[in-house]
Amino acid sequence: MQSTIHPHERLADWLSEDMARVSTLIRERMASRHAPRIPEVTAHLVEAGGKRIRPMLTLAAARLCGYEGEHHIRLAATVEFIHTATLLHDDVVDESAQRRGRPTANLLWDNKSSVLVGDYLFARAFQLMVATENMRVLDILSNASAVIAEGEVLQLTAAQNLATDESVYMQVIRGKTAALFSAATESGAVIAGASEASVAALFAYGEALGICFQIVDDYLDYGGAGDSIGKNLGDDFRERKLTLPVIRAVAQADAAERAFWERVIARGQQEAGDLEQAIDILKRHGTLESTRATARDWAQTARTALETLPDHPLRAMLADLADYVVARVN
């Protein structure tokens, strides 16, 4: 399913000139003449790097549609700034102890800096996309921003609530994750002046990939090996989030299991050994397995969405990327 060179590395290689320009632009726009705290806080996140999958999606979509201009660089930086701002604001929110294997910004700095520097990055993103002077792109990205924020708020109210069902879960992950993936690919296609069919195909690919990505993330929080993904095993459990494996297990719970979920998720009274017991319950009902199957279905949806696009080396790399995302659970 994958070669020794991972698909995101092949994408990065193919797009290396564009990505170098994106990195330069990000560094330039992160700077602040008046407030040196800003690059201090963001350097920590930006240099930690991650795979920069979102800006690569924008570049790949634009190039796949034959774009030869300059605006895709700005859009890719926009998407990365929105993502980084969201991480900063999530740090305030989640009190998560670790992000990408490093201490979160709000442990190194403080909540105030995380909120305000996040706001600065949102504003920088907004300036960059305005510079494209493309109204349709602005429409896509402003709508995505609202859907992202709505998904984050919905996640907040859904946490600790055992009545959260799969349809609420899907709304949350469409908002907090898939909306930016689909805006990344759709805006790349639009800036390239692609056909409506290609725009729709790349939107559908981005959305399915984002959903797949988040379901895999939620699986790994219970079924993963911990530190290899820079996230602590059990983070979602401790934050009492209702993610897919738990939602499915709660739906099948007997009386004793129901009492367990009431205690650890609804009331938040967690003790040593509870995470292990939760994982046992998930395994008993096969919900880790069924969550993996759902992730594979979304990877297939992503692949299928690409079929109508013209043949292109990037099309094959994007298809492989979908397999690679889901391969983390195999």
Site residues, a copy of itself (CB under 8 A):
32, 34-38, 89, 92-93, 111-113, 115-117, 119-120, 122-124, 126-127, 130, 133, 135, 138-139, 142-143, 145-146, 148-154, 156-157, 171, 175
Which is closer to a copy of itself, CB of 17 or CB of 133? 133
Which is closer to a copy of itself, CB of 81 or CB of 219? 81
The CB-of-42 to a copy of itself minimum distance in angstroms stands at: 11
Which is closer to a copy of itself, CB of 17 or CB of 34? 34
Q: Distance between CA 274 and CA 267 in Å, rounded?
A: 13
Which is closer to a copy of itself, CB of 19 or CB of 141? 141
Which is closer to a copy of itself, CB of 179 or CB of 278? 179
CB atoms inside a 10 Å sphere around CB 118: 24
The CB-of-121 to a copy of itself minimum distance in angstroms stands at: 8
Structure tokens at 38: 């800003």
Q: Crossing angle, helix 166-173 and helix 244-251, to 10 degrees?
A: 170
The CB-of-57 to a copy of itself minimum distance in angstroms stands at: 20
Which is closer to a copy of itself, CB of 5 or CB of 34? 34
Q: Distance between CA 100 and CA 217 in Å, rounded?
A: 13
The CB-of-51 to a copy of itself minimum distance in angstroms stands at: 24
The CB-of-156 to a copy of itself minimum distance in angstroms stands at: 6
Nearest one of 302, 307, 329, 324 to 53, comparing CA atoms? 324
Contact at 8 Å (CB) between 317 and 7? yes
Amino acid found at 216: V
**197 burial type by CB count under 10 A (0-12 exposed, 13-18 middle, 19+ buried):** exposed
The CB-of-116 to a copy of itself minimum distance in angstroms stands at: 5
The CB-of-172 to a copy of itself minimum distance in angstroms stands at: 9
Contact at 8 Å (CB) between 319 and 306? yes
Which is closer to a copy of itself, CB of 113 or CB of 198? 113
DSSP string, 78-135: HHHHHHHHHHHHHHHHH--S-BTTB--HHHHS-HHHHHHHHHHHHHHHHHHHHTTT-H
CB atoms inside a 10 Å sphere around CB 157: 11
